[in-house]
Amino acid sequence: MQNIADYVRDTAAAAKQAFYQLAAATTAQKNTALLRLAELIEQHQTAILAANAEDMAQAAAKGLETALLERLKLTETTIAGMCEGLRQVAALPDPVGEMDEFRNRPNGLQIGKMRVPLGVIGIIYESRPNVTVDAAALCLKSGNACVLRGGSEAFNGNMAIAKLITQALRENGLPVDAVRLIENTSRESVGAMLQSPDLIDVIIPRGGKSLVARISAEAQVPVIKHLDGICHVYIDRAADTPKALDIAFNAKTSRYGTCNTIETLLIHEARAVEILPLLAEKYAEKAVELRGCVRTRNILPDIIAATEEDWDTEYLAPILAVKIVDSLTEAIAHINTHGSHHTDSIVTENYTDAQIFLRAVDSASVMVNASTRFADGFEYGLGAEIGISTDKIHVRGPVGLHGLTSQKWVVLGNGQIRT
Amino acid sequence: MQNIADYVRDTAAAAKQAFYQLAAATTAQKNTALLRLAELIEQHQTAILAANAEDMAQAAAKGLETALLERLKLTETTIAGMCEGLRQVAALPDPVGEMDEFRNRPNGLQIGKMRVPLGVIGIIYESRPNVTVDAAALCLKSGNACVLRGGSEAFNGNMAIAKLITQALRENGLPVDAVRLIENTSRESVGAMLQSPDLIDVIIPRGGKSLVARISAEAQVPVIKHLDGICHVYIDRAADTPKALDIAFNAKTSRYGTCNTIETLLIHEARAVEILPLLAEKYAEKAVELRGCVRTRNILPDIIAATEEDWDTEYLAPILAVKIVDSLTEAIAHINTHGSHHTDSIVTENYTDAQIFLRAVDSASVMVNASTRFADGFEYGLGAEIGISTDKIHVRGPVGLHGLTSQKWVVLGNGQIRT
């Protein structure tokens, strides 16, 4: 039997070759393959759900936490979402070869940029089997090959989907190695990917904090990382009450396991007495546990006291930390210190407060009067997303097609030399 | 005495604080400081040249190679170039706060992007004292703070320049810690920077292959790297002879120590008998040593034989490897295999050959009928450059102001929640 590192490197080397072949694929070929994949997934929905059910049963038996089980579970709705994502990606313009920013230089050179794929993208992910489809679609459309290393808990579902991807590629004359699932879910297979900068151009981890931390520390390959989502809603002094109630409620309760869900609510002291009791009532309907600062507990005496640790915690659960602040400045400082630079929203009717918040909050997405839950590729109009980058380098926030490409400079001359 | 790691971390921490203060600086303040610095450098030219002469004498005594001495040397011309660079950067639009790509979503959200600085940028460089000025200017203009770690061989010149930078910042009410030169040129000071992802947002190494390799391997901070420049001119079957002669000659001989100088000349076999003897005559005037493949030596029997190693070597010297190829395809394969993905140029009058070359050559800059020597920030109209990235991630080719920034998403709502 082949050792794991060799198997992973052989797979990545095959993907590299497929990447060069992909350069010759037309946009039509790529789109047809994506649409065919949507069709195949719909046709094989029963088999995919059965494979996922097997994964769910094993995960439950192993005692996986609720948030992880929620991420693992596929339903007819989530499968319909995958197929919708494929059709959206097929409908998006092909970014490869886009040329822009051409300018004439005084010496007659025309200098501009051409958009090009990154090469081979390694995706290392946990739980969510839909990543297999989203990643394959976005990489293929952007001319990249990919090596997918899913989690052991999602193995059966991933294998069922990967088989269909291979079929869609083959039927459309595309290299089947352009999307390769690593059929080994050991730690060693991740390690082998991280140590292969000659074969893999960038790694995108999708998963828990410890996975991402390990990958960042060990990778010899550039990493586009998504760390945790400690997101905030700040209810400003000038907030509109109905908007504040709707947004603070929605940003916490519409889904608990997602990274764009808020973990801390900040509220200006001038509005706390009015708004906090109304909000507490709404949260009680959903049994959200509130943990408050001292002043919050003066208003809501029945809630638990928040500790310093709460401000730095991603609960991924029906728990919300609540803090009263004296000013916009204090809110911004809290967010920049305790947040994860993911997504933060201010509720305000005041123009200047909104402008200050947008500029000063150092996060991938900054919002005014909108739920943080909108921070994703679908909602931003990118089609599916491959992750939400909390880095500043290369790409920030939801990573769609453009995040998976680079640009090269194109210089058109007629014999110019440098004097 | 404070230990080196603590000193470096204290310096970086001061830069981080200065970065937050810089957010409040106006564009006018930053520009005035840059123009003032140009003035100060002109006024203190004699002192800078004297400091550099001291560096040069020590470097020569240590037996530094010619290419490095060439990089170290300052002249009235290179100092005038620095000042011209400062004035160009001052004249460029301030990228910070630029908003674009705003689109209306069906739910009424307006979603777009705002350009923001990266934070604290660490520059680790060797030899060239002009990097001190270029880096400070580009970082300041783009709202970043920077920590500069120059080479020991350039210490006196760097100190002389850094003093003037501090003065220009102070005189214009900007935080003096926004540009900090590390006054310790030991290996440990580099190590301390590489291990400080909490204080430094990105590291840009400028220097030889071994420095960059060490930094890439050890850095816990994202790196924008510039590896070597193994650049090519390919003289196509359809090349215009005078353009071919001018470009091949200029791309090798206008300067030997620069990364955008070619190291290998490729020529289509159909044009070799006509063009190679003419070129050899021109190169002989400059005493460029030619190293040829077997077929090249059939035409130019007096030159040295090239070995496999020559195709992978950055000479930074008056040496040129020459290879005859059978086709455009072979030329492209050679460049993608042996080149450093920096800058490559085709000389051709054929439209289709030019198009294929531009798309298929996987380099940061691809050119038609132009000397590779144009690949730099000045010539591309970026003002000064901080390096030429051979990475694909974040920024590729000459790195100017935009390469030192990121974008965040801005979402403007009126109460939208996600259903």
Structure tokens at A60: 């439950």
Name the domain boundary from B195, B210, B227: B227
What is the ipTM metric for this complex? Answer: 0.89
Domain containing residue B138: CATH number = 3.40.605.10
Domain presence at residue A82:
yes
CA distance B15 to B202: 13
Q: Say which residues have a Cβ less than 8 Å from residue B360's Cβ, sequence separation at least 6.
A: A23, B332, B336
The mean predicted confidence, pLDDT, of chain A is: 94
Widest Cα–Cα separation across chain A: 79
- A418 to chain B: which residues are within 8 Å by CB? 250, 254, 371, 373-374, 379
Identify the three-state secondary structure at position B227: coil
- Residue recorded with tokens 């520009």: B31
The answer to whether residue A1 scores a pLDDT higher than 70 is: no
- Which 18-77 residues of chain A touch chain B by CB within 8 A? 23
Identify the three-state secondary structure at position B110: strand
In terms of Cα–Cα distance, which of B76, B49, B73, B34 is closest to B164? B34
- Which 375-404 residues of chain B touch chain A by CB within 8 A? 375, 379-381, 391-394, 396-398
One domain, residues B212 and B249: no
One domain, residues B199 and B342: no
One domain, residues A48 and A155: yes
- Which 277-306 residues of chain B touch chain A by CB within 8 A? none
- Residue recorded with tokens 């130019």: B300
The answer to whether residue A127 scores a pLDDT higher than 90 is: no
* Residues B359, A114: C-beta atoms closer than 8 Å: yes
Domain presence at residue A394:
no
- B406 to chain A: which residues are within 8 Å by CB? 392-393, 396
Domain presence at residue B392:
no
* Residues A222, B407: C-beta atoms closer than 8 Å: no
Instruction: Give the pLDDT band of residue A241 (cuts 50, 70, 90).
Output: very high
CA distance B274 to A273: 89
Distance of residue B34 Cα from the nearest chain A Cα, in angstroms: 24
Domain presence at residue A328:
yes
Mean pLDDT of A28-47: 98
Domain presence at residue A36:
yes
Structure tokens at B54: 């001291």
The answer to whether residue A18 scores a pLDDT higher than 90 is: yes
One domain, residues B134 and B235: no
Number of domains within chain B:
2
CA distance A416 to A418: 7
Widest Cα–Cα separation across chain B: 79
One domain, residues A245 and A347: yes
Kind of pairing between the strands at A99-104 and A110-117: antiparallel
Residues B139 and B399 sit within 8 Å (Cβ to Cβ): no
Distance of residue A86 Cα from the nearest chain B Cα, in angstroms: 20
pLDDT at B89: 93
Domain presence at residue B92:
yes
- Which 215-244 residues of chain A touch chain B by CB within 8 A? 216-217, 220, 222, 224, 240, 242-243
pLDDT at A344: 98
Residue in chain A nearest B364 by alpha carbon? A408
Residues A347 and A243 sit within 8 Å (Cβ to Cβ): yes
pLDDT at A384: 73
Domain containing residue A265: CATH number = 3.40.309.10
Residue in chain A nearest B406 by alpha carbon? A392
- B374 to chain A: which residues are within 8 Å by CB? 109, 411, 413, 416, 418
Distance of residue B94 Cα from the nearest chain A Cα, in angstroms: 15
One domain, residues A209 and A235: no
- B250 to chain A: which residues are within 8 Å by CB? 417-418
CA distance B389 to A290: 48
Distance of residue A66 Cα from the nearest chain B Cα, in angstroms: 22
One domain, residues B104 and B216: yes
Low-confidence stretches of chain B (pLDDT < 70) are 1
Name the domain boundary from B227, B254, B275: B227
> What is the per-residue burial (b if ≥16 Cβ within 10 Å, else e) of B277-295?
eebbeebeeeebebbbbeb
Residue B306 DSSP label: P
**Dihedral of the alpha carbons of A341, A343, A347, A350, in degrees to the nearest 10:** 60
Query: Which of B243, B411, B412 best tests the A interface by mutation, with the highest count of A CBs <10 A?
Result: B411
pLDDT at B1: 55
- Which 142-171 residues of chain B touch chain A by CB within 8 A? none
Q: Say which residues have a Cβ less than 8 Å from residue B206's Cβ, sequence separation at least 6.
A: B123, B124, B125, B126, B128, B131, B226, B386, B387
Distance of residue B408 Cα from the nearest chain A Cα, in angstroms: 5
Residues A145 and A179 sit within 8 Å (Cβ to Cβ): yes
- pLDDT single digits (tens) A55-89: 999 999 999 888 789 889 999 999 999 999 899 99
Structure tokens at B331: 């030329």
Name the residue among B217, B398, B408 with its Cβ closest to that of A364. B408
**Structural domain containing residue A191:** 4-224+399-412
This prediction's pTM = 0.87
- B96 to chain A: which residues are within 8 Å by CB? none
Name the domain boundary from B199, B227, B255: B227
Angle between helices B187-194 and B209-218 (to 10 degrees): 40
Instruction: Give the pLDDT band of residue A208 (cuts 50, 70, 90).
Output: confident
CB atoms within 10 A of CB A316: 22
One domain, residues A212 and A241: no
One domain, residues A78 and A205: yes
- Measured over the CA atoms of residue B106, residue B109, residue B114 and residue B119, the dihedral's sign is negative
One domain, residues B195 and B71: yes
pLDDT at A206: 86
Mean pLDDT of A196-206: 92
One domain, residues A78 and A199: yes
One domain, residues A308 and A207: no
Contact of A349 with chain B, judged by CB distance below 8 Å, is answered with: no
Name the residue among A119, A379, A410 with its Cβ closest to that of B392. A119
Q: Tell me how far apart the terminal alpha carbons of chain A are, to the nearest angstrom.
A: 61
Structure tokens at A334: 């809290």
> What is the per-residue burial (b if ≥16 Cβ within 10 Å, else e) of B50-71?
ebbeebbeebeeeebeebbbbb
Domain presence at residue B384:
no
* Residues B415, A111: C-beta atoms closer than 8 Å: no
Domain presence at residue A100:
yes
CA distance A256 to A262: 9
* Residues A415, B369: C-beta atoms closer than 8 Å: yes
CA distance A190 to A214: 10
E strands, B118-261, are: 120-125, 145-149, 179-181, 202-206, 231-235
